């Protein structure tokens, strides 16, 4: 089942405060749940209205259990300024209508625009011709006219009242004037028969007069009401206003015109005449208002009068205005569209029903559109309401930010834990790798040592066969007619030897490796010397014209991979014997030196 909606309506009058709580059931309609009213205490009568309202408002809240949090407020027409202004013809162009209305408002409202809260209702109607007897005759082509109803109130005044209500933990939904709320209540309860109705709300210090004419509205606040009667009684009997008010409530009625039997009480007779005089003054203001309505605004003649307000309850008031205006007069029953709650005292409500029309008019705005929807919300309330509307978005944004932060923290925490796990794994792997690396370095060091020893062994092994290989190569490239008597190795090329003479038999018996120490050199061992040159000493048989170094030997030297082609040939004196031969010395350079 849907939850019932509630609203508290408050009518801030000049003499009393009226409050009513309405409930809107899920099945529809309006139900009056509670109502209360309170006249301002005598000690607050001379104080500011805001102070009077504060005292009465808190007193009613404490004495009644109003459950509604939403509040709609109506202020007295005496505290506001209202004017119906005709707008200049726009020729069908309504784009600049707001600029025109704002200009008209500046010309109409008697206060600086920055000091007031104001609003308007745009009214569009057709202009019609009217005969003297009240019958209307439509023109061939009625013209469409536009009017704007301006309502303005002092900003500081309405702001002060709003803050008092907000301090009680209530939410203000709308603020309007009591005459406008009275008009909306009348339009909702009266049939729309096309007549011009006159609405008169007689309050404590002022009376509100409204014309309802086919959707058009004209309102005027008249400073003649129940307080005027009270003041005259106080002056007449030389008593206080409180005593005068008590006498008015006890004996007051509007004296009838013509010949009638006066009451037995002389006090009642005097009070009734005072009341009639005040009502006569009020009637004069009503007549002037009707003339202005018909002459300046081309309105129709009123055909009915509906009364409301606390001072209209004075006896014979409807009969007085019926005699003066010669039109039907009755009280406005604003509760035709309202059902009453079970706890409502119907007899008590019947006595004060004309005072609660404004409250009903405000309650209508909660469920449907009303003819006049003027709102006088001050900027501070508008900003507060705008902030309240944005609060869900603020809360949603805050929750989103918190969720984002939580998600971010979770992601960062998860990533941190993941990275921490990865780091621990990497550190473990690094530790394992370091151990393996240490082992590898140890093995590499051992390998390097073994490799050094191996290379040294290989080198030694290579040296073992170096001389054998060189001598074998030398044996292969020597001509057959040569034989060596000595072979000497040195790091540098040796100086040329002096020629010697030997006998043939000595040459024949000389050993090939009988080299002996090199000339000019010490016979002691020398280490780490690279032997690059080989000095060959030997004999060769010379037959005829043979040369010592023939082409075959040179080619063998050049083709050898052990010997350089750079040959130093030293020939010696030929010693003749039985066979011709010569002694020679040859120095051959090794391509790859041999370390000693």
280 and 186 together in one domain? no
Whether residue 270 is found in the same domain as residue 371: no
277 and 352 in a single domain? The answer is: no
Residue 452 lies in a domain: no
Q: pLDDT value at position 550?
A: 64
Closest CA to 198 of 359, 373, 326: 326
Strands 530-541 and 338-340: unpaired
pLDDT for res 130 = 44
Q: Are residues 244 and 267 in the same domain?
A: yes
Helix, strand, or coil (residue 492): coil
Q: Are both 239 and 360 inside the same structural domain?
A: no
Co-location of 186 and 310 in the same domain: no
Where among 331, 350, 367 does a domain terminate?
331
Counting as low any pLDDT under 50, the low residues of the chain are 1-2, 129-141, 499-523, 571-578
d(CA 122, CA 120): 6
Task: Determine the pLDDT at residue 92.
Answer: 56
Tokens found for residue 30: 């309006």
Considering the domain architecture, whether residues 236 and 151 belong to the same structural domain is answered as no
> Which DSSP string do the residues of 117-173 spell out, in sequence order?
EEEEEEEEEEE-EE-TTS-EE--SSPEEEEEEEEEEEEHHHHHHHHHHHHTTT-EEE
Q: What is the pLDDT of residue 576?
A: 46
The pLDDT assigned to 362 comes to 94
Are residues 9 and 153 located together in one domain of the fold?
yes
Whole-number pLDDT of residue 209: 95
CATH number of residue 270's parent domain: 3.30.420.40
Same domain, 271 and 341: no
What is residue 280's three-state secondary structure?
Answer: helix
Q: What is residue 114's DSSP assignment?
A: G
* Cβ-contact 232, 278 below 8 angstroms: yes
CATH number, position 71: 3.30.420.380
Q: Report the C-alpha gap between 314 and 418 in whole angstroms.
A: 88
Neighbouring C-beta atoms of residue 464, cutoff 10 Å: 9
For the chain, how many structural domains are there in total? 3
Distance, in Å, from the CA atom of 11 to the CA atom of 380, rounded to the nearest integer, reads: 21
> Helix crossing, 155-166 with 379-477: angle to 10°?
70
Domain assignment present for residue 261? The answer is yes
pLDDT at 133: 42
Give the domain extent around 241.
Answer: 193-331
Angle at alpha carbon of residue 485, lines to 483 and 488, rounded to 5°: 115
Q: 510-545 pLDDT, tens per residue?
A: 333 443 444 444 445 556 688 888 888 888 877 655
- Residue 291 falls within a domain, yes or no? yes
Q: Using an 8 Å Cβ cutoff, are 274 and 236 in contact?
A: yes
Q: Which helix or strand (DSSP H or E) is residue 199 part of?
A: strand 196-202
Q: Are 83 and 152 in contact (CB under 8 A)?
A: no
Check whether residue 23 and residue 66 sit in a common domain: yes
Asked whether residue 67 is domain-assigned, the answer is yes
119 forms beta bridges with 151
Same domain, 48 and 101: yes
Q: Is residue 393 part of a domain?
A: no
pLDDT score, position 565: 73
Contact (Cβ atoms closer than 8 angstroms) between residue 2 and residue 47: no
The H-or-E segment that residue 380 falls in is: helix 379-477
Query: Within this chain, do residues 266 and 294 fall inside the same structural domain, yes or no?
Result: yes
Backbone dihedral region for residue 372 (phi beyond 0: left; psi -120 to 50: alpha; all else: beta):
beta
Q: Is residue 389 part of a domain?
A: no
DSSP string, 442-483: HHHHHHHHHHHHHHHHHHHHHHHHHHHHHHHHHHHHS-TTEE
The Cα–Cα gap between 266 and 248 comes to 13
In a domain, 407, yes or no: no
Q: Is residue 385 part of a domain?
A: no
pLDDT, residue 547, reads 52
Q: Which residues contact 477 (CB under 8 A, 6 or more apart)?
A: 553, 556, 557, 560, 563
């Amino acid at each position: 089942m849907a939850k019932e909606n509630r609203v508290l309506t408050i009518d801030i009058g000049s003499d009393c405060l009226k409050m009513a709580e309405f409930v809107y059931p899920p099945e529809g309609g309006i139900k009056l749940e509670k109502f209360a009213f309170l006249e301002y205490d005598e000690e607050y009568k001379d104080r500011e209205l805001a102070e009077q309202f504060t005292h009465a408002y808190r007193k009613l809240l404490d004495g009644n259990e109003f459950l509604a949090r939403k509040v709609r407020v109506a202020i007295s027409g005496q505290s506001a300024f209202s004017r119906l202004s005709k707008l200049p013809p726009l020729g069908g162009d309504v784009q600049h209508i707001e600029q025109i209305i704002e200009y008209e408002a500046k010309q109409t409202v008697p206060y600086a625009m920055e000091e007031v809260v104001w609003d308007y209702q745009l009214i569009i109607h057709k202009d019609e011709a009217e005969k003297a007897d009240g019958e209307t005759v439509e023109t061939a082509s009625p013209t469409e006219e536009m009017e704007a109803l301006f309502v303005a109130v002092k900003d500081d005044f309405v702001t002060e009242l709003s803050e008092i209500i907000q301090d009680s933990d209530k939410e203000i939904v709308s603020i309007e004037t009591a005459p406008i709320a009275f008009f909306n209540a009348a339009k909702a309860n009266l049939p729309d028969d096309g007549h011009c109705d006159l609405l008169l709300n007689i309050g404590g210090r002022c009376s509100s007069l409204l014309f309802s004419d086919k959707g058009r509205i004209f309102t005027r606040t008249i400073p003649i009401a129940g307080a005027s009667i009270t003041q005259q009684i106080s002056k007449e009997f030389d008593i206080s206003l409180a005593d005068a008010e008590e006498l008015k409530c006890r004996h007051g009625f509007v004296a009838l015109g013509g010949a009638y039997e006066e009451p037995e009480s002389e006090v009642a007779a005097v009070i009734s005449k005072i009341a009639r005089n005040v009502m006569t003054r009020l009637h004069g203001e009503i007549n002037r208002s009707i003339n202005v309505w018909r002459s300046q605004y081309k309105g129709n003649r009123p055909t009915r009068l509906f009364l409301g307000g606390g001072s209209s309850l004075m006896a014979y008031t409807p009969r007085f205005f019926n005699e003066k205006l010669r039109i039907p007069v009755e009280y406005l029953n604003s509760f035709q569209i309202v059902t009453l709650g079970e706890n409502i005292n119907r007899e008590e409500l019947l006595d004060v029903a004309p005072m609660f029309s404004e409250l009903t008019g405000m309650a209508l705005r909660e469920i449907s559109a009303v003819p006049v929807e003027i709102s006088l919300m001050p900027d501070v309330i508008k900003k507060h309401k705008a902030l309240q509307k944005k609060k869900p978005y603020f809360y949603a944004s805050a929750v989103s930010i918190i969720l984002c932060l939580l998600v971010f923290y979770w992601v960062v925490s998860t990533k941190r834990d993941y990275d921490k796990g990865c780091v621990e794994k990497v550190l473990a792997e690094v530790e394992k790798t370091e151990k393996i690396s240490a082992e590898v370095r140890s093995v590499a060091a051992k390998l390097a040592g073994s490799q050094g020893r191996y290379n040294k062994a290989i080198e030694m092994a290579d040296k073992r066969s170096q001389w054998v290989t060189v001598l074998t190569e030398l044996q292969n490239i020597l001509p057959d007619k040569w034989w060596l008597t000595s072979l000497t190795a040195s790091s540098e090329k040796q100086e040329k030897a002096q020629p010697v003479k030997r006998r043939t038999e000595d040459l024949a018996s000389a050993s090939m490796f009988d080299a002996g120490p090199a000339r000019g050199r010490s016979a002691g061992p020398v280490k780490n010397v690279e032997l690059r040159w080989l000095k060959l000493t030997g004999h060769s048989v010379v037959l005829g014209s043979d040369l010592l170094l023939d082409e075959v030997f040179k080619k063998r030297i050049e083709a050898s991979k052990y010997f350089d082609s750079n040959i130093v040939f030293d020939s010696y004196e030929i010693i003749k014997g039985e066979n011709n031969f010569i002694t020679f010395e040859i120095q051959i350079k090794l391509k790859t030196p041999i370390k000693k």
